[in-house]
């Protein structure tokens, strides 16, 4: 969501911003290259050459026949395919990664077509990107990046430090997506063709991580193209075609500069927003990998040796927000009672069991994580005692409204209503259009309880912002967060964030229903597809598919 610095996701990792806008088609397939062969010249006896020509012709015919089906060569254990088709759920409305919000573009383009100064691995840690190394001044105000030599964009232009400078300056001047993440940005300059110096007005611990996303992407300053339908990047893949809401075709860049050269020449992305259609496409072989697939629909694939299924770690947090200024929810005892009343194991089991319980606002892949699930165990009796202390009981039952967007369906609301009823809370569940949620809950803060999938990583700032829709205002938490971002020590930052997170959880500012984990299913023989974090970043260079 772009109303402020955070991300809210719908079921299946659909971002709120994507839900709010019309979803249009995506990528497409492209014409195959024609194979050519030149006749050989020879003198003397022509018979061996004629025989060789015949063999070559037969080989060419065979390669064209198999090429139509996908494979390009034989290897031990099967035939390696030259095309892999990936089934995804969330389609981008267009390809303009500077202006269009939503994780679908990050997933498709970052690391595949566009690259940033630094990158991010599957454990959410910063790694080299276009910059092979970097240095940070002792005061945390100056970052110096040293670029790899020989980097080229897909159009052949050399990538230089000035491209980095122009990209970051353009980001800030145009207020493009990601610009709000560069807190304390003061300036950027090229000190030589391969060196970039970025200056801050104050230390910002999250800077490098933010540069691994949209804020750090580098564009060709000399290229002219329509970013809504085209892309010119320095990544391992070229964007060959884009059919909104349908498909995207990526082709390996034969002149790619990096060491992570694509192992599969063509990757086709198909967008399948209907769960049953997606599962059928995987079963029939129309796609070789599907992400996400709901855990319940993945069950048959787990029992079939032709498929592999795995749930990956992610940063999505299903948050049951409690209005800190609500008539009843401003009472700590009421919020504590709600947390004790919720049976997280039952919620997770009903969804197939792949999600994980979390007792606080920081996921396991983010700085400051600690296991806080023991703070509010499922304890209906304690919930009733707390409600009684707050003045509620059989003769005076607590009535609350749960308002959330219809993108999440009705099951979670029904389960929460049933669980809270057992301790004496009557829940009026209101499932509304997302636009209504934005106005009533996010803007006007007119709610008791709300349910949102907050999918962004490094998003603890929400709890340090008293103006956010939670209406949570704790000065100690705000100061701890400020210190965590201002320190130049990552260890100190982790410690400060962990301390702040424990306070937020103790305050029962919300209940964190579960950490949503994305289940991915693929055909046996497919390797190299990322399982962790694949709804936000999906590097495809290592993907191969070997037919059995």
Reported as a single tens digit per residue, the pLDDT across 187-245 is 999 999 999 999 999 999 999 999 999 999 999 999 999 999 999 999 999 999 999 99
- Smallest CA-to-CA distance from 530 within 292, 304, 246, 353 is with 292
What is the SS3 assignment for 148-167? CCCCECCCCCECCHHHHHHH
- Chain-centre distance for alpha carbon 155: 28
- Residues forming beta bridges with residue 14, ordered by sequence position: 10
- Smallest CA-to-CA distance from 151 within 120, 188, 114, 187 is with 114
DSSP per-residue codes, 87-120: EES---S-S-TTT--SHHHHHHHBTTTB-BSEEE
Cβ burial of 234 (10 Å; 0-12, 13-18, 19+) is: buried
Residue 468 has pLDDT above 90, yes or no: yes
- Rounded Cα distance, 522 and 217, in Å: 30
Q: Residue 62 is inside which H or E element, if any?
A: helix 47-69
The model's confidence at residue 76, banded by pLDDT at 50, 70 and 90, is low
Contact in structure between 293 and 520 (CB atoms under 8 Å): yes
Cβ burial of 491 (10 Å; 0-12, 13-18, 19+) is: exposed
Residue 38 has pLDDT above 50, yes or no: no
Cα angle 284, 286, 287 (rounded to 5 degrees) comes to 110
**pTM for the structure as a whole:** 0.85
Contact in structure between 528 and 122 (CB atoms under 8 Å): no
CATH of 114-216, one of 3.90.76.10, 3.40.50.300, 3.90.580.10, 3.50.50.60: 3.90.76.10
**CATH 3.40.190.10 region(s) of the chain?**
237-306+524-546
**Percentage of the chain with pLDDT > 90?**
84
- Within the chain, what is the greatest distance between any pair of CA atoms? 109
Q: What Å distances lie between residue 253 and 83, 153, 269, CA to CA? A: 14, 10, 17
Residue 46 has pLDDT above 70, yes or no: no
Residue 536 has pLDDT above 80, yes or no: yes
CB within 8 A of 104, min separation 6: which ones?
A: 15, 18, 88, 90, 91, 92
Beta strands in 494-543, from DSSP E residues, in sequence order: 510-523, 526-527
* Helix segments in 154-305, DSSP class H: 161-174, 207-211, 275-284, 295-302
The chain-wide mean pLDDT, for the chain, equals 88
- Rounded Cα distance, 341 and 378, in Å: 6
| The pLDDT of residue 42 | 30
pLDDT in tens, 238-295: 999 999 999 999 999 999 999 999 999 999 999 999 999 999 999 999 999 999 999 8
Number of H helices, E strands in the chain: 14, 22
Contact in structure between 339 and 314 (CB atoms under 8 Å): no
| The pLDDT of residue 78 | 78
| The pLDDT of residue 9 | 43
- Rounded Cα distance, 385 and 403, in Å: 26
Contact in structure between 441 and 450 (CB atoms under 8 Å): yes
Contact in structure between 186 and 200 (CB atoms under 8 Å): yes
Residue 454 has pLDDT above 50, yes or no: yes
- Rounded Cα distance, 274 and 33, in Å: 33
* Helix segments in 251-379, DSSP class H: 275-284, 295-302, 332-341, 344-350
Residue 368 has pLDDT above 60, yes or no: yes
CATH number, span 315-517:
3.10.105.10
| The pLDDT of residue 518 | 94
- Chain-centre distance for alpha carbon 377: 30
- Rounded Cα distance, 154 and 360, in Å: 44
**CATH 3.10.105.10 region(s) of the chain?**
315-517
pLDDT in tens, 306-365: 999 999 999 999 999 999 999 999 999 999 999 999 999 999 999 999 999 999 999 999
- Residues forming beta bridges with residue 310, ordered by sequence position: 520
Report the length, in residues, of the chain. Answer: 548
- Rounded Cα distance, 141 and 143, in Å: 7
Cα angle 217, 219, 220 (rounded to 5 degrees) comes to 160
60: three-class secondary structure by DSSP = helix
Q: What Å distances lie between residue 468 and 135, 278, 343, CA to CA? A: 35, 37, 27
Cβ burial of 36 (10 Å; 0-12, 13-18, 19+) is: exposed
411-421 and 332-341 are packed helices; what angle lies between their axes, rounded to 10 degrees?
110
pLDDT in tens, 470-507: 999 999 999 999 999 999 999 999 999 999 999 999 99
CB within 8 A of 310, min separation 6: which ones?
A: 519, 520, 531
Contact in structure between 13 and 518 (CB atoms under 8 Å): yes
- Rounded Cα distance, 543 and 548, in Å: 16
Range among 23-37, 52-66, 148-162 rated most confident: 148-162
**CATH 3.90.76.10 region(s) of the chain?**
114-216
CATH number, span 237-306+524-546:
3.40.190.10
Cβ burial of 406 (10 Å; 0-12, 13-18, 19+) is: middle
Mean pLDDT of 418-434: 98
Q: Could you tell me the sign of the dihedral formed by the alpha carbons of 192, 186, 5, 138, in that order?
A: positive
Residue 72 has pLDDT above 70, yes or no: no
- Rounded Cα distance, 401 and 420, in Å: 12
Q: Could you tell me the sign of the dihedral formed by the alpha carbons of 65, 67, 68, 70, in that order?
A: positive
């Amino acid at each position: 969501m772009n109303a402020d610095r955070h991300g809210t996701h719908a079921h299946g990792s659909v971002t709120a911003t994507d839900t709010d806008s019309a979803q249009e088609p995506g990528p497409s397939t492209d014409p195959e290259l024609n194979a050519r062969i030149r006749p050989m010249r020879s003198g003397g006896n022509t018979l061996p050459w004629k025989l060789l020509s015949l063999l070559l012709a037969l080989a060419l015919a065979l390669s064209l026949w198999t090429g139509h089906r996908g494979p390009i060569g034989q290897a031990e254990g099967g035939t390696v395919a030259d095309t892999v088709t990936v089934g995804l759920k969330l389609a981008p409305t267009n390809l303009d990664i500077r202006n269009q919000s939503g994780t679908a573009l990050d997933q498709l383009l970052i690391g595949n077509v566009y690259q940033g100064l630094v990158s991010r691995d599957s454990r959410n840690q910063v790694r080299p990107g276009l910059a092979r190394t970097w240095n940070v001044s002792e005061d945390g105000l100056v970052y110096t990046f040293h670029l790899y030599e020989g980097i080229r964009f897909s159009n052949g232009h050399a990538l230089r430090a000035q491209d980095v400078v122009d990209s970051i300056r353009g980001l800030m001047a145009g207020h493009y997506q990601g610009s709000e993440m560069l807190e304390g940005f003061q300036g950027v300059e090229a000190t030589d063709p391969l060196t970039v110096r970025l200056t801050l007005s104050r230390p910002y611990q999250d800077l490098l991580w933010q540069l691994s996303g949209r804020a750090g992407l580098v564009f060709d300053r000399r290229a002219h193209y329509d970013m809504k339908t085209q892309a010119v990047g320095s990544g391992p893949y070229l964007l060959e075609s884009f059919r909104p809401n349908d498909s995207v075709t990526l082709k390996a860049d034969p002149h790619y500069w990096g060491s992570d050269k694509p192992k599969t020449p063509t990757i086709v992305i198909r967008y399948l927003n209907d769960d049953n259609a997606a599962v059928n496409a995987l079963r029939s072989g129309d796609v070789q990998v599907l992400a996400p697939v709901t855990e319940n629909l993945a069950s048959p694939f787990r029992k079939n040796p032709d498929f592999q299924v795995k749930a990956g770690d992610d940063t999505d947090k299903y948050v049951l927000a409690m209005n800190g200024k609500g008539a009843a929810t401003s009472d700590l005892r009421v919020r504590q009672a709600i947390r004790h009343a919720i049976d997280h194991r039952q919620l997770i089991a009903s969804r197939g069991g792949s999600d994980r319980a979390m007792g606080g606002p920081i996921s396991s892949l983010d700085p400051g994580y600690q296991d806080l699930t023991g703070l509010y165990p499922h304890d209906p009796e304690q919930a009733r005692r707390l409600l009684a202390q707050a003045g509620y009981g059989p003769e005076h039952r607590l009535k609350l409204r749960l308002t959330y967007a219809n993108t999440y369906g009705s099951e979670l609301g029904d389960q929460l209503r049933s669980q809270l009823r057992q301790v004496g809370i009557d829940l009026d569940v209101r499932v509304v259009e997302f636009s209504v949620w934005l106005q009533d809950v996010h803007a006007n803060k007119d709610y008791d309880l709300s349910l949102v999938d907050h999918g962004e990583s490094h998003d603890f700032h929400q709890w340090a912002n008293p103006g956010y829709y939670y209406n949570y205002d704790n000065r100690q938490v705000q100061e701890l967060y400020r210190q965590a971002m201002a320190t130049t020590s990552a260890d100190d930052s982790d410690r400060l964030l962990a301390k702040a997170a424990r306070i937020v959880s103790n305050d029962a500012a919300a209940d964190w229903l579960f950490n949503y984990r994305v289940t991915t299913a693929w055909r046996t023989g497919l390797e190299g597809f990322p399982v962790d974090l694949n709804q936000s970043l999906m590097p495809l260079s290592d993907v191969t598919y070997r037919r059995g």
